[in-house]
Amino acid sequence: METMTTPTKTSDGLLQFGYVANLKNGVYIKELQEKLSDTDQEPTSQELRERANSAEVVLLNRHGYPKDAAGRSIPASKVRFKGFNTGYKLDGKYIFGWFERKNDESDFEGVFWATEQELRAYARLKEKTSRLFKMGDFYFDSIDDCQAFLDDIAKAAIPESWRYKNKQSAINHPILKSYLETIFVKLNKEGKVIKSADGKHVIFNTNLLDKFFHAIYIIAEVQEAEDLEVYMCPRRTAEESYRDFKKYGFPEDIKPTSPKFFEEVNEVIFNPSWKIDKNYSALTHIIEQRIDRFPAHMRTKDSYLLARKLYDAIEYAVAIAQRNYKYIVPIYYPKYNRISFLMPIFLEGTYNSYPDFALVLQTDAENKMYIARTILDLETGYQDARLVAKPDESWLNPVTLK
């Protein structure tokens, strides 16, 4: 009896090189077209597919070369870039489509378009930053330089606690570190990180005030290669620091604006009349997948008992919020890029201690309800809340959190 076999389906085009992260909506071809916009070349997706299928595969090490310093071919395990010559040219140099992997074990991902010279500049910058201490999008020569930077900001700003009393951290002022990292991401999304005329520096508003009620700004050096842009050696300055502005290539009257978390004040005030959606998947996530955030003595209890305690705790919190509008705290939840709320949860119903955790409520203004999303430990909750404003509720005080 003859056995029928199913033909093996092989990847072609860009997919033979790795995962195409910019495939959706044809972003990859638009990026190539943009790179060649000043030429008379007009690549199409079909043409590019055919060229990728017929091209020789180029394998490079982490420095962007096909051989090591001794002239030896690189082993497959050490290949960091995989690509092909598209045949298109820019300023007389061929454009390649490149895929990169983060380490020797990970998969290749792309695609980005660059000449071999541009790729090597990109590789050099990646190699340089790999030896530096990273704080979000910022790089320092050492952890000590990062500590000194955070110390300087904390000392200059209107006094508040930027560290937890009962939680150890290798970084001084861990709350400030998290704050600055997320503020920068938010400002970048809003287009409020300003680059100097020569492109060598950026400046942004931290949304903090110094002791003289000046807005605290940060200036950082820009280094870039291809699509990689990194920010080195940030330093503090402030509004009306005109010499600093001129020194780093900014106009004297520059006024970087602060991030915008809400349009109207009612967006950051919890409405106790709205319902709270506690759907099955949310409860599964909160009670079963986040059971490690419950008190240790409750983790072995049945899910329905924990759900009952959670329902009661939510009712108690809403009752208090009806009498104290500050009780449930607004937070900026980066995952959803919107304002959510942080509700304290006291599972035992006693209020002479600290909450067991905080419940994240996502706002659904269209349906006038809140959706229970996840639970956070109090330290993480404070960091998310501090982005919007310094909480003044006693249950979310970093100095006394246990």
Give SS3 for 49: helix
Q: In the structure, what pLDDT confidence band is assigned to residue 38 with cuts at 50, 70 and 90?
A: confident
Q: In the structure, what pLDDT confidence band is assigned to residue 332 with cuts at 50, 70 and 90?
A: confident
Digit-coded pLDDT (tens) for 4-13: 444 434 467 9
Digit-coded pLDDT (tens) for 370-391: 999 999 988 888 888 899 988 8
Give SS3 for 315: helix
Strand order in the sheet with 194-195: 133-135, 138-140, 228-238, 215-225, 201-209, 194-195
By C-alpha distance, which of 268, 211, 263 is closest to 388? 268
The length of the chain is 402
By C-alpha distance, which of 209, 184, 169 is closest to 390? 209
Question: Cα–Cα distance between 342 and 99 in angstroms, integer?
Answer: 41
State what percent of residues in the chain have pLDDT above 70.
95
Give SS3 for 381: helix
Question: Cα–Cα distance between 25 and 317 in angstroms, integer?
Answer: 45
CB-based contact 93:35 (threshold 8 Å): no
Is 90 exceeded by the pLDDT of residue 70? no
Q: For 206-275, give the DSSP string.
A: EEEEBTTSPEEEEEEEEEEETTEEEEEEEEEEETT-HHHHHHTT--TT--PPPP---SSGGGGS--TTSE
Please provide residue 186's backbone torsions phi and psi, each rounded to the nearest 5 degrees: -60, -45
Question: Cα–Cα distance between 158 and 51 in angstroms, integer?
Answer: 60
Q: Could you state, in order of their start, the residue ranges of all structural domains in the chain?
A: 13-116, 133-247, 265-396
Rounded to an integer, the average pLDDT of 19-41 is 91
Digit-coded pLDDT (tens) for 189-228: 999 999 999 999 999 999 999 999 999 999 999 998 877 8
The set of residues, in sequence order, having a beta carbon less than 8 Å from that of 178 and lying 6+ positions away, is 383
**Is the overall model pTM greater than 0.85, yes or no?**
no
